Amino acid sequence: MTNVEQDRWSRVKGRLRSSVGEDVYSSWFARMDLESVQDESVHLSVPTRFLKSWIQAHYAERVLTCWQAEMPQVHRVDVTVRTAMRVNAPVKEVAAPVEARRSEGRDGRPSSELRATAIAPVSATHEALGGSPLDPRLTFGSFVVGRSNTLAHAAARQVAEGRRGDSVMFNPLYIHAGVGLGKTHLLQAVTWAGNSGAERKVLYLTAEKFMYGFVAALKTQTALAFKEALRGIDVLVIDDMQFLQGKTTQAEFCHTLNALIDAGRQVVIAADRPPADLESLDERVRSRLAGGLVVEMGSLGEELRLGILKSRVAAARAHHATFEVPLPVLDYLARTITHNGRDLEGAINRLLAHSKLNATPVTLEMAEREVRDLIRPMEPKRIKIEDIQRVVARQYNVSRSDLLSSRRTANVVRPRQVAMYLAKTLTLRSLPEIGRRFGGRDHTTVLHAVRKIEALVGKDVALQDEVESLKRQLQE
């Protein structure tokens, strides 16, 4: 490259820097090189595919303008990925402090399965990558499979067992379930299992950690390092997706997601609701999330609860050999603690504490006393907007697409209003979200429908009965 070209390139970079600001410049453009200038087109290169697509999506115009200020004849700027050795620099391995997480383990010495996969190196490497802490007890070995989680478990296993270079079957894998139904357990199991072979890297991040990591990286201007680290990841696991918030973070997340998926890396996501219900997320992100395999884990059946209790007792016995819980007590707990896995875990911890402190065996009577407050009234069922539409359509003998359509005939308008009213009262969805789910209507339309039905129910006994009956059908 000639000196003239070099000078020109320096000036273009100077323009770009003052146009986007120092922070943005150093995050995205610091490693951009000029490859060549030919007639009307300029050829630039960056070290990663990710940077390339980010720059093309957000800064293409800006870069062109800066060039045109120096060379008005330029009409095209091409950005390509350099294939230098720098690309995909291996992520720094960190010497593993032995016993790293073991000392922090809540009550668990690792099971033998875990010991075999060498916890300390796995978690040290994982943390060096910036991953969220992993709980050594949350492995496939301790995950109990039952009717409600068979599919999610199978998909997770498949992901964990994939090998570098394998074609990815479903991407992203999106798992959703209510609180305490095993999402984190399954995701961490994928991470442990996936990282146990040296060959692949699985990174587990909570959505908060993703946000924090990214924002922090931008502040210290090491966004590039963060990106580069992500590029060295074979499987990215994101937990509690519902907490991902903020426009910039979302744009960033969306980009990361696209870049990873396009590069054939696996992405696994868990959230407390299906993609369509992640209201604060951009439509594009939602549809990308829904574009792989979406699996719901239902509530824990009694058999599964019993299985989880037994596995918890077995884990506790690894330390407390004398700890025993008679089967009738386990049955009692499985029958009465229906809420979620956390309460099951809590129940066993209490029985253990009580029997240790008082040096008494566990009895049914003691169990009843100890776990009284964990027994909650039946959780109301999580009702979905689709269920409401289906049940209402059936009741009024119209089709679901009629409800979503723009038809305004009386036989459709009233059922539609009833359905919107039920959606507002039986789910936690916002008015705009409900509008969107009813054929893209405005939130004021939903509000109008809700008010209308509220007013009518007060006056019209027949309608009141109808609404009550619909509610019963949805809750049973």
Q: Which residues bind ligand ADP (CB under 6 A)?
A: 138, 142-144, 149, 177, 179-185, 308, 311, 341-342, 345
Closest distance to Mg ion from the beta carbon of 300 (Å)? 14
Q: Which does 143 bind (CB under 5 to 8 A by kind): Mg ion, ligand ADP, none?
A: ligand ADP
CA distance 296 to 277: 13
128 vs 318, which CB is nearer to ligand ADP?
318
76 vs 147, which CB is nearer to ligand ADP?
147
Phi, psi of 299 (to 5 degrees): -70, 160
240 vs 433, which CB is nearer to Mg ion?
240
Q: Which does 185 bind (CB under 5 to 8 A by kind): Mg ion, ligand ADP, none?
A: ligand ADP
Q: Which does 177 bind (CB under 5 to 8 A by kind): ligand ADP, Mg ion, none?
A: ligand ADP
CA distance 396 to 411: 8
Q: Which does 149 bind (CB under 5 to 8 A by kind): Mg ion, ligand ADP, none?
A: ligand ADP
180 vs 415, which CB is nearer to Mg ion?
180
Closest distance to ligand ADP from the beta carbon of 58 (Å)? 34
Q: Which residues bind Mg ion (CB under 5 A)?
A: 183-184
CA distance 160 to 154: 10
Cβ proximity of 195 and 202 under 8 Å: yes
65 vs 242, which CB is nearer to Mg ion?
242
184 vs 195, which CB is nearer to Mg ion?
184
Q: Which does 154 bind (CB under 5 to 8 A by kind): ligand ADP, Mg ion, none?
A: none
Q: Which does 341 bind (CB under 5 to 8 A by kind): Mg ion, ligand ADP, none?
A: ligand ADP
Whose CB is nearest to Mg ion?
184
65 vs 299, which CB is nearer to ligand ADP?
299
Q: From residue 119, how far is each of 126, 143, 192, 295, 347 by CA, in Å?
A: 10, 17, 8, 29, 27
Closest distance to ligand ADP from the beta carbon of 173 (Å)? 15
Closest distance to ligand ADP from the beta carbon of 177 (Å)? 5
Closest distance to ligand ADP from the beta carbon of 241 (Å)? 12
Q: Which does 181 bind (CB under 5 to 8 A by kind): Mg ion, ligand ADP, none?
A: ligand ADP
Closest distance to ligand ADP from the beta carbon of 11 (Å)? 53
CA distance 99 to 411: 68
178 vs 291, which CB is nearer to Mg ion?
178
Q: Which does 144 bind (CB under 5 to 8 A by kind): ligand ADP, Mg ion, none?
A: ligand ADP
Question: Edge-to-edge strand order for the sheet containing 41-46?
Answer: 33-38, 41-46, 76-81
47 vs 341, which CB is nearer to ligand ADP?
341
Closest distance to ligand ADP from the beta carbon of 318 (Å)? 15
CA distance 55 to 349: 52
Closest distance to Mg ion from the beta carbon of 112 (Å)? 26
Closest distance to ligand ADP from the beta carbon of 175 (Å)? 9
Whose CB is nearest to ligand ADP?
341
Q: Which does 180 bind (CB under 5 to 8 A by kind): Mg ion, ligand ADP, none?
A: ligand ADP
Closest distance to ligand ADP from the beta carbon of 185 (Å)? 3
Q: Give the 3-state secondary structure of the chain.
A: CCHHHHHHHHHHHHHHHHHHCHHHHHHHHCCCEEEEEECCEEEEEECCHHHHHHHHHHHHHHHHHHHHHHCCCCCEEEEEECCCCCCCCCCCCCCCCCCCCHHHCCCCCCCHHHHHCCHHHHHHHHHHCCCCCCCCCCCCCCCCCCHHHHHHHHHHHHHHHCCCCCCCCCCCEEEECCCCCCHHHHHHHHHHHHHHCCCCCEEEEEHHHHHHHHHHHHHCCCHHHHHHHHHCCCEEEEECHHHCCCHHHHHHHHHHHHHHHHCCCEEEEEECCCHHHCCCCCHHHHHHHHCCEEEECCCCCHHHHHHHHHHHHHHHHCCCCCCCCCHHHHHHHHHHCCCCHHHHHHHHHHHHHHHHHHCCCCCHHHHHHHCHHHCCCCCCCCCCHHHHHHHHHHHHCCCHHHHHCCCCCHHHHHHHHHHHHHHHHHCCCCHHHHHHHCCCCCHHHHHHHHHHHHHHHHHCHHHHHHHHHHHHHHHC
Q: Which does 342 bind (CB under 5 to 8 A by kind): Mg ion, ligand ADP, none?
A: ligand ADP
Q: Which does 182 bind (CB under 5 to 8 A by kind): Mg ion, ligand ADP, none?
A: ligand ADP
312 vs 424, which CB is nearer to ligand ADP?
312
143 vs 210, which CB is nearer to ligand ADP?
143
Closest distance to Mg ion from the beta carbon of 226 (Å)? 24
